Amino acid sequence: MTALAALIRRDVSVALRVGGGALIGVLFFLTVVVLMPFAVGPDLALLKKLGPAILWLGALLASLLTLDRLFTADHDDGSLDLIVMSRTPLELACAAKALAHWLAAGLPLVVATPVLGLLLNLDGVATGAVALTLLAGTPALTFTGMIGAALAVVLRRGGLLLSVLVLPLSIPVLIFGVAASNAALSGPSPFGTPFSILCALSLMSLVIGPFAAAASLRHGLD
Amino acid sequence: MRETGLESALPALAPATISGAMTLIDLANPSRFLSLAGRILPWLAALTVLVLAVGLYQSATAPDDYQQGATVKIMFIHVPNAWLSMFVWGVMSVAALGTLVWRHPLADVAAKTAAPIGAAFTFLALLTGSLWGRPMWGTYWEWDARLTSVLILFLMYLGLMALWRAVEDPSRAARAAAVLTLVGAINIPIIKFSVDWWNTLHQPASVIRMGGSTLDRAFLIPLLVMAIGFTLLFLTLHIAAMRNEILRRRVRTLQMLQASKSA
């Protein structure tokens, strides 16, 4: 247990220090949201209607951007080999690394959402709903993305391949995240149903992600 | 295990002595698989041609639909392709288990060669669906649940093929692709369900339902014959592709041996 806690602490502090690049995701998120009005026009009513979709898409792309750092840095300096060979189960180590990555790169996106919601003319309830769905949904993005990150580090050419592999798997999260946000914003349909399914998706990826990532690391690094 | 081509290039001696009851283990010997494939393939190809000919004749002579007219005949091509697009992923999932659990050398080959065939069937399902949609819905593309989930399946096939192409060492690529295939096998039903939620516009399933089929017998029989014919076509193409892949690996191994000898 202490080994896992140490792993989480180390990963978070490395990500937050100079060269870690965790906050680049937030900057990218901000840039994507700022770009949107230039594409669809500065129509506040339209932006309010598209707001949850824009925020979710921005968060999805931002979390994808930082994902390939999840294993590559450790692979480059050799500490990934130590983690694979250590007595701690690799599945738990993968889960701990993903949790640390989410704390450093996913949680800031949720925190930044209220500010960005202001730019998109979202009112308090809608902003809260989007932030809440992002809080429930970004772990699913991190944990399914981890599978792609593990495959990419095994193949030693991550980047584009990672996004091609991960994006189709994130479609359900996007659908239910935007559905729940829209339900809170305008829809007659209840907020609870898509939100519970979103939570279920996160919990499921919490189970599947570490096993698949550990399997591909164990089979791939030799 | 790292260079499977090397083992398959050597004459098969040891496994022949312990050939037992389990045919799957027997088939782990590529030479044995090659000779079996050589014997089966002509018969399988002939059977495929026969069944497809009967199916096509029956489809051509099937009556027109009272609403859709002659365009309903697209169904006889479209539906088997759509069935196979999912069936092939199932075959690849079984092969992926074979790769990860039993390290079966032929499972790598089976998974690798099934992916392009499955992608082709999925593409044909999308293409015929789009051609069918033009006269029926008035548009080539509709963002409805089924079309969308088949499109996502197509994207996943392409991602899998990209993964296969990204690594030179075939056994290493096999294990990475096997993990992705199994993750896809878990995720495809979830994606299907969420896309259904996202858009419940499409008509509900009408071929296999509780309480029997709503499809008329005049359409159902040609459709089933065509489905069997397409499945046979897949088996024929797959076995032929597996044979080609084994031979390709042997050629590569021999070339590398020759290069290292002359160096």
B176 and A219 in contact by Cβ < 8 A? yes
Which of A118-127, A198-207, B84-93, B233-242 has the weakest average pLDDT?
A118-127
Using an 8 Å CB-CB cutoff, list chain A residues near B155: 164, 167-168
A161 and B183 in contact by Cβ < 8 A? no
Query: Which chain B residue shows the shortest CA-CA distance from A164?
Result: B159
Q: Identify the residue with better confidence: B125 or B19.
A: B125
Nearest CB to A168 within list B152, B163, B172: B152
Using an 8 Å CB-CB cutoff, list chain B residues near A214: none
Question: Chain B within 8 Å of A219 (Cβ-Cβ)?
Answer: yes
Query: Is B211 inside any structural domain?
Result: no
Distance from the A151 Cα atom to the nearest Cα atom in chain B, whole angstroms: 6
Query: Is B260 inside any structural domain?
Result: no
The model's pLDDT over B48-87, given as tens digits with 9 standing for 90+, comes to 999 988 888 888 887 776 666 677 778 888 888 988 988 9
Domain span holding position B168: 34-65+74-201+219-255
Residue A5: enclosing H or E segment and its boundaries? helix A2-16
How far apart are the C-alpha atoms of A143 and A146, rounded to whole Å?
Answer: 5
B69 phi/psi in degrees, rounded to 5: 70, -145
Task: Look up the ipTM and state it.
Answer: 0.82
The pLDDT of residue A187 is 67
Kindly state the percentage of chain B with pLDDT values over 90. Answer: 19
CA-closest candidate to residue B230, choices B36, B130, B86: B86
Q: Identify the residue with better confidence: B179 or A156.
A: B179
Q: Give the number of domains in chain B.
A: 1
A164 and B198 in contact by Cβ < 8 A? no
Tokens matching residue A52: 């949850």
- Farthest CA pair distance, chain A: 57
Query: Is B208 inside any structural domain?
Result: no
pTM of the full predicted structure?
0.82
Which of A11-20, B139-148, B165-174 has the weakest average pLDDT?
B139-148
The pLDDT of residue B207 is 46
The pLDDT of residue B76 is 85
Decide if pLDDT at B6 tops 70. no
CA distances B125 to A203, B62, B135, Å, are 34, 21, 16
Decide if pLDDT at B41 tops 80. yes
B183 and A219 in contact by Cβ < 8 A? no
Distance from the B52 Cα atom to the nearest Cα atom in chain A, whole angstroms: 34
Query: Is B25 inside any structural domain?
Result: no
Domain span holding position A16: 2-220
A220 and B180 in contact by Cβ < 8 A? no
Contact B33, B240 (CB under 8 A): no
Q: What is the CA radius of gyration of chain A?
A: 18
Task: Quickly count: other Cβ atoms within 10 Å of residue B39's Cβ.
Answer: 10
Query: Is B195 inside any structural domain?
Result: yes
The model's pLDDT over B197-227, given as tens digits with 9 standing for 90+, comes to 776 533 444 444 444 456 677 778 888 888 9
B166 and A161 in contact by Cβ < 8 A? yes
Query: Is B21 inside any structural domain?
Result: no
Which of A154-168, B164-178, B208-222 has the weakest average pLDDT?
B208-222
Decide if pLDDT at B8 tops 60. no
Question: Chain B within 8 Å of A87 (Cβ-Cβ)?
Answer: no
Q: Give the number of domains in chain A.
A: 1
| Mutate which: B190, B191, B195, vs A, most A CBs within 10 A | B190
The pLDDT of residue B128 is 87
